[in-house]
Chain A
């Protein structure tokens, strides 16, 4: 069964720092990996999608990498801002059998960026 783990569970940093959030998964049979952001009481906002054949994706100050064979992904946030404060979730999409098409989520990293 696919299990997704995110480390750290919480992170509190001053504004301007560069951050790395980690995500690991147990089954490499995935279509893709997606990073989301969730603000309190709200839905999920998609940040980056990395296909299983890709190694990296970038969007603005965000950069995500994927090492499918070792079951790891990292989300790098450059020059953090207070507006980045949220919970960051990673999810992998299964590619076969009962996992097909479904997203498996980690528990998230709760990020606080203070001024």
Chain B
């Protein structure tokens, strides 16, 4: 059974540009969540999608957005990149995101903003 797949694995972007990251969840999983990991802040929740609907959103500026497609694949977009957006972006999938479901993470996308 394939795990959570994130693409690309590495990205280098310039300040002011925008970027799109992709996440393919485990087959059958309908919940996809995104997290940002930095040395200073640790792991912080960005948003969660279930059946193409955003169910929850963390405390990030509107430059961070996401969406989920009918096949449960998800993308997140960051516009007008800042140096502080450099981080490891992790995607997690679970069956429903609810009480009894375990979260499985991908390998992450390492974004560097220069």
Q: Chain A residues in contact with chain B, CB under 8 A?
A: 31-32, 34, 36, 41-46, 49, 51-52, 89, 91, 93, 95, 98, 100-108
Contact = CB atoms under 8 A, between A and B. Distances in A.
A36 B105 contact: yes
Interface in B63-106: 88, 90, 92, 97-100, 102-106
Shortest 10 CB-CB contacts between residues of A and residues of B: A44-B105, A105-B43, A43-B107, A31-B99, A101-B97, A43-B105, A102-B45, A49-B102, A43-B108, A107-B42
Contact of B98 (A41, A49, A101, A108): A101
Interface residues of B, number: 27
A26 to B, nearest CB: 16
Q: Is the interface of A mostly helix, strand, loop or mixed?
A: strand
B22 interface: no
13 contacts: A31-B98, A42-B107, A43-B4, A43-B106, A43-B108, A45-B105, A51-B99, A95-B99, A98-B56, A101-B56, A102-B45, A102-B56, A108-B42
